[in-house]
Amino acid sequence: MTEHENEAPVRNRRAKSVTRAEEIQKAELRVRKSQPDKPCHQPRDSLFSWSSGFDNFTGFVNWGFLLLGIGGIRLLLENFIKYGIRVDPRQWFLFLSGKNDGGEEHPSILLIFYSTVPVVLCLLIEKGLAVEIIAHGPGMVFHVVNLIVMVLMPMVVIHVKDSGFSLIGAMYVCMLYAILFLKLWSYVQVNMWCRLSSRRKSTSQGRMRRQSLSCNNLQSSEVKQNGNATADARDEKEGRSPALVQYPDNLTLGDLYYYILAPTLCYELNFPRTQRIRKRFLIKRILEVLVGCQVVMSLFQQWMVPSVKNSLIPFSNMDVAKASERLLKLAIPNHLMWLCFFYLVFHSYLNLMGELLHFADRNFYGDWWNSNNIDTFWRSWNIPVHRWAIRHLYIPIVGMGYGKSTASITVFFISAFFHEYLVSVPLKTFKIWAFMGMMGQIPLSALSKIVEKRCGARWGNIVVWSSLIIGQPLCIMMYYHDYVVTHFGETLLEDYSIV
Amino acid sequence: MTEHENEAPVRNRRAKSVTRAEEIQKAELRVRKSQPDKPCHQPRDSLFSWSSGFDNFTGFVNWGFLLLGIGGIRLLLENFIKYGIRVDPRQWFLFLSGKNDGGEEHPSILLIFYSTVPVVLCLLIEKGLAVEIIAHGPGMVFHVVNLIVMVLMPMVVIHVKDSGFSLIGAMYVCMLYAILFLKLWSYVQVNMWCRLSSRRKSTSQGRMRRQSLSCNNLQSSEVKQNGNATADARDEKEGRSPALVQYPDNLTLGDLYYYILAPTLCYELNFPRTQRIRKRFLIKRILEVLVGCQVVMSLFQQWMVPSVKNSLIPFSNMDVAKASERLLKLAIPNHLMWLCFFYLVFHSYLNLMGELLHFADRNFYGDWWNSNNIDTFWRSWNIPVHRWAIRHLYIPIVGMGYGKSTASITVFFISAFFHEYLVSVPLKTFKIWAFMGMMGQIPLSALSKIVEKRCGARWGNIVVWSSLIIGQPLCIMMYYHDYVVTHFGETLLEDYSIV
């Protein structure tokens, strides 16, 4: 009562009348209790009535997860009854090596070995630029040509090999080359910053003034003096080597390959390092990677493949009810696979590489599961790519004088291109579903922000999850349908529908 | 820091070293930030690592409910695709009237009308006891005979009519007679208390002294004097009639039928009453009853019947994998139906009757959804029956000098008998699955208490929900299987398996 002094008169009167009503009720109860019929009723509201004021429904959260678990077990049983055990570990190596039924070679493995060529080329160009054998302009042209040729290589090989290349093998080689492209882009750009910075310090040529105007660099060189002093003082106490690698000492094959293996897409001359390898942590991650790979592969062979195949006919016949049912059925294994895949790659694998390489920055993902709109989701689910996009695309574009929205849309555009690349090239069907799916995130993001504002954070979060659960299988179905139509013709669809 | 003064030395040292480590890290960061390669990494742990201390996974609750919703929609679609629309409102009336395909009459309706006979008989016996035409001993014998004949009546009618009685019609008539049995038991016992109390007051015969020793009655008569004084004082202010009905003025047909229609199983001479009928509340409850009945009926026709039929063969062949899959598939619609049924009966219907009859005590159910062990669940899901069991079974048995565990087990035993009665009589298969199911609650209760203690309240709650979701369909399957085997023979099972 003391906390609400200003409300006191009204509250007191109400409180008094409540007390009086209570007293009357109590007196009534006393009278009734004194009867020989042992009364047991008293005026009360049911818990579901609003007037009861009851709102503890936490038990239903357990109920929800229990039903989910039961549904999952049932689906698993149904799947085994229908299809038997389809998991075949022998196929996994073949898949990964890229060898197909018709093929003789392991094109994925060849392409992995080939990837050293553009990497070494890139280093050589950088060396040339550092010792000024190659001028800045032609050097950049060489780099761009090298990177574009690298990205096109899997497309050409997959096109030439055609049926001799398995889908999964092709897909992960494309993934590898896309990652290499982003890594080398970052490597070239960072080395360019360093080169320009060191030249600006030694000489002050007019051609470079434009780039050195960024006050960032001016500030940073001031801070550097103080920083070095502090660091030296500290290092005397700690007995550690303070030596930061300076450009162009970093241009070695060892440094470049450390960066290529490190779990990041942003090059730095001096990555933060850990002191030691935590053995228990390492063993856990290794086990997770080994078990997780099996789980994802098994889910794929046992659950995804039959679901996708089954949904082909209803999807082709535009039978809305059946296609929706199939789509929802496909959504569950696809989503579970994605979740496993996410954990496997972003937690287990990247942490494993980080631990082995003494790489200290393990910020590979944010808490995207709590994100209340699409933007937050895209910013937090894949931190390495997000960081790359900010550092090597967004900030340079804004620095070049363009607006922030231009920069955002460019980021989305490049991201959409790589999504398309990762799907279209292995499938050899150049449709634009993945590209459209990515570009569709822009209106969806606006929608989710409206939902978040109007209906609250919880509904924003639900929109994010829905787009994740439903959007992916929709794209997969579209691609698979087009893939079957393009490569096996309409006749196959008709054969299927007879069966 | 001030809250933990005694820990201060250790904490301070640790805090200092933390601060020092932070300072070093900051200095390092400053040095690194000053480099021309624009460093963006810093030492951090991944969110899923324990060392990160991150624990906000609320988004996964939304995820759970979303997956549940998607699963539900898919099941609905699958059901419509497989079976088409099976809802047939014409059948509902036939079901309820008890008329079967073969039958000519509506035996359920006849049995409902017949139920007035034991009710009126009961009242007549009470009247006789009140005016002392009938002595206490023979009167009790008459009551017991009347009640037993009443409970046996549906069994006999269903056995005689046999195929002319629909399952659902038979089931709800049995339910009605069981409720009537509990109500009349309470009526007889309460009137007995009143009679004994009034006689004890007027005369103090040696025969009655044994029963009046309960100090409860002594106390209550004292309180009554005070209570009456208070009540009189209040009534002068309020201008309301204080007149409580006293025994034997309550022995009228109107009072008895008010009690029979009222949403309670415990008789009282003066029920707490509401002042007025809330019209909006009443309309809502009427709509809920109308819509809810349709939903339950539709779920039954559309989902339960096909699921139960489909699970018959795997269940009969003891095919564990298929039977489990079917059982889990049956569990979902059964559980949803039960939830709808619970809300429909315990919230909508009982509140509707309460509102119409000015009955003020609406405490028909507790928050069983939060209960952490089986005991709490049974105490809170069906308050009218629980209250009846405490008032008319448990307390009298304890009052007779038996132990509390004896009383508890007796309550469970009677409850198990009525569960068996409600299932076996309509199905005409006298197996003991329901009885065993109910008696099995005793070890299950012990188990759930162990789980609650060892693994925490959440896991206790999950055990309660699991037993609810899985236990019911298991019993249904057992009964349906035995029902088909008994009434249609093994041949039908074989016919089914060919189809």
- Among the listed residues B419, B374, B433, the one whose alpha carbon sits nearest the alpha carbon of residue B171: B419
Cis before A118? omega within 30:
no
Asked if B250 and B269 count as a contact pair (C-beta separation under 8 A), the reply is yes
Q: What is the C-alpha to C-alpha distance for residues A133 and A141, in angstroms, rounded to an integer?
A: 14
**Shortest alpha-carbon distance between residue A146 and chain B (Å):** 22
Angle between helices A167-202 and A116-130 (to 10 degrees): 10
Task: Decide if A234 and B27 are in contact by the 8 Å CB cutoff.
Answer: yes
Q: What is the C-alpha to C-alpha distance for residues A26 and A39, in angstroms, rounded to an integer?
A: 14
Region of poorest pLDDT, from B230-239, B244-253, B333-342:
B230-239
Q: Is the pLDDT of residue A453 over 80?
A: yes
Q: Is the pLDDT of residue B103 over 70?
A: no
Q: Which residue has the tokens 């012990």?
A: B446
- Residue type (1 letter), B376: T
How confident is the model at residue A116, as a pLDDT? 92
Contacts of A458 (CB under 8 A, 6+ apart): B62
Asked if B152 and B183 count as a contact pair (C-beta separation under 8 A), the reply is no
Instruction: For an interface test with B, give the residue of A45, A70, A347, A358 to mutate (most B CBs within 10 A).
Output: A70
Q: What is the C-alpha to C-alpha distance for residues A118 and A126, in angstroms, rounded to an integer?
A: 12
Phi, psi of B166 (to 5 degrees): -70, 150
Kindly state whether A373 is in contact with chain B, defined as any CB-CB distance less than 8 angstroms.
no
Q: What is the C-alpha to C-alpha distance for residues A477 and A486, in angstroms, rounded to an integer?
A: 14
Q: What is the C-alpha to C-alpha distance for residues B464 and B470, in angstroms, rounded to an integer?
A: 10
pLDDT bucket at B129, cuts 50 / 70 / 90: very high
Q: What is the C-alpha to C-alpha distance for residues A381 and A389, in angstroms, rounded to an integer?
A: 13
pLDDT bucket at A357, cuts 50 / 70 / 90: very high
Asked if A427 and A420 count as a contact pair (C-beta separation under 8 A), the reply is no
Look at the alpha carbons of A347, A349, A352, A357 in this order and tell me if their dihedral is positive or negative. Answer: negative
Q: What is the C-alpha to C-alpha distance for residues A287 and A284, in angstroms, rounded to an integer?
A: 5
Asked if B272 and B331 count as a contact pair (C-beta separation under 8 A), the reply is no
How confident is the model at residue B6, as a pLDDT? 43
At B305, is the secondary structure helix, strand, or coil? Answer: helix
Query: What residues of chain A lie within 8 A of the CB of B470, using their CB?
Result: 70
CA-nearest residue to A227 within chain B is B31
Contacts of B208 (CB under 8 A, 6+ apart): B196, B199, B200
Taking each continuous run of H as one helix and of E as one strand, the counts in chain B are: 21, 0
Task: Decide if A272 and B32 are in contact by the 8 Å CB cutoff.
Answer: yes
Of B86 and B452, more confident: B452
Q: Is the pLDDT of residue A462 over 50?
A: yes
For B489, the token pair is 């023979």
Kindly state whether B338 is in contact with chain A, defined as any CB-CB distance less than 8 angstroms.
no
For B164, the token pair is 């002319």
Phi, psi of B44 (to 5 degrees): -155, 155
Q: Is the pLDDT of residue B486 over 80?
A: no
* Mean pLDDT for the stretch of residues B420-435: 79
- Among the listed residues B203, B244, B197, B204, the one whose alpha carbon sits nearest the alpha carbon of residue B219: B197
Asked if A472 and A464 count as a contact pair (C-beta separation under 8 A), the reply is no
- Beta partners for residue A359, in sequence order: A273
pLDDT bucket at A444, cuts 50 / 70 / 90: confident
- Which ranges of B213-319 does DSSP label H, i.e. alpha helix? 215-238, 253-261, 279-299, 305-316
- Among the listed residues A233, A212, A147, the one whose alpha carbon sits nearest the alpha carbon of residue A182: A147
pLDDT bucket at B256, cuts 50 / 70 / 90: very high
Instruction: For an interface test with A, give the residue of B20, B29, B30, B35 to mutate (most A CBs within 10 A).
Output: B35
Burial, B85: exposed, middle or buried (Cβ in 10 Å; 0-12, 13-18, 19+)?
A: exposed
* Mean pLDDT for the stretch of residues A52-78: 82
* Mean pLDDT for the stretch of residues A415-433: 81
CB atoms within 10 A of CB A426: 25
Residues of A classed as catalytic? 419
Q: What is the C-alpha to C-alpha distance for residues A263 and A148, in angstroms, rounded to an integer?
A: 23
Q: In degrees, to the nearest 5, what angle opens at C-alpha B25 toward C-alphas B20 and B31?
A: 130
Q: What is the C-alpha to C-alpha distance for residues B213 and B193, in angstroms, rounded to an integer?
A: 13
Task: Decide if A461 and B59 are in contact by the 8 Å CB cutoff.
Answer: yes
How confident is the model at residue A1, as a pLDDT? 37
What is the percent of chain A where pLDDT is above 70? 81
H/E run at residue A156: helix A136-161
pLDDT bucket at B17, cuts 50 / 70 / 90: low
- Beta partners for residue B165, in sequence order: B99
How confident is the model at residue B1, as a pLDDT? 37
For A166, the token pair is 């398995």
For A80, the token pair is 């085994």
Kindly state whether B13 is in contact with chain A, defined as any CB-CB distance less than 8 angstroms.
no
- Beta partners for residue B99, in sequence order: B165
In this structure, chain B runs to a length of 499
Of B217 and B24, more confident: B24
How confident is the model at residue B100, as a pLDDT? 61
Of A216 and B170, more confident: B170
Q: Is the ipTM of this complex over 0.90?
A: no
- Could you say which of B54, B329, B367 has the minimum Cβ distance to residue A47? B367
Q: What is the C-alpha to C-alpha distance for residues B203 and B231, in angstroms, rounded to an integer?
A: 27
**Shortest alpha-carbon distance between residue A83 and chain B (Å):** 13
Of A55 and A256, more confident: A256
Task: Decide if A77 and B234 are in contact by the 8 Å CB cutoff.
Answer: no
Q: Is the pLDDT of residue B279 over 70?
A: yes
Domain boundaries, chain B: 89-200+241-271
H/E run at residue A82: helix A59-83
Residue A208 is given by DSSP the state: H
Query: What residues of chain A lie within 8 A of the CB of B280, using their CB?
Result: none
- Beta partners for residue A273, in sequence order: A359
Task: Decide if B347 and A46 are in contact by the 8 Å CB cutoff.
Answer: yes
What is the value of pTM for the model shown?
Answer: 0.68
- Among the listed residues B160, B45, B157, B163, the one whose alpha carbon sits nearest the alpha carbon of residue B110: B157
Of A220 and A50, more confident: A50
Q: What is the C-alpha to C-alpha distance for residues B87 and B101, in angstroms, rounded to an integer?
A: 17
- Could you say which of B42, B56, B458 has the minimum Cβ distance to residue A62? B458
The widest CA-to-CA distance across chain A, in whole angstroms, is: 111
**Which B positions 266-305 lie with beta carbon below 8 A of chain A?**
266-272, 274, 281
How confident is the model at residue B95, as a pLDDT? 67
- Residue type (1 letter), B137: G
Highest mean pLDDT among A153-162, A341-350, B159-168: A341-350
**Shortest alpha-carbon distance between residue A428 and chain B (Å):** 32
pLDDT bucket at A104, cuts 50 / 70 / 90: low
Contacts of A443 (CB under 8 A, 6+ apart): none
End-to-end CA distance of chain A: 76
Asked if B267 and B183 count as a contact pair (C-beta separation under 8 A), the reply is yes
Residue A373 is given by DSSP the state: S
Half-sphere exposure of B449 (CA within 13 A, CB side): 8
pLDDT bucket at B252, cuts 50 / 70 / 90: very high
How confident is the model at residue A79, as a pLDDT? 81
Q: Give me chain A's average pLDDT, please.
A: 79
- Among the listed residues A183, A104, A191, the one whose alpha carbon sits nearest the alpha carbon of residue A150: A183
Q: What is the C-alpha to C-alpha distance for residues B208 and B171, in angstroms, rounded to an integer?
A: 42
pLDDT bucket at B75, cuts 50 / 70 / 90: confident
Q: Is the pLDDT of residue A186 over 90?
A: yes
CA-nearest residue to A269 within chain B is B37
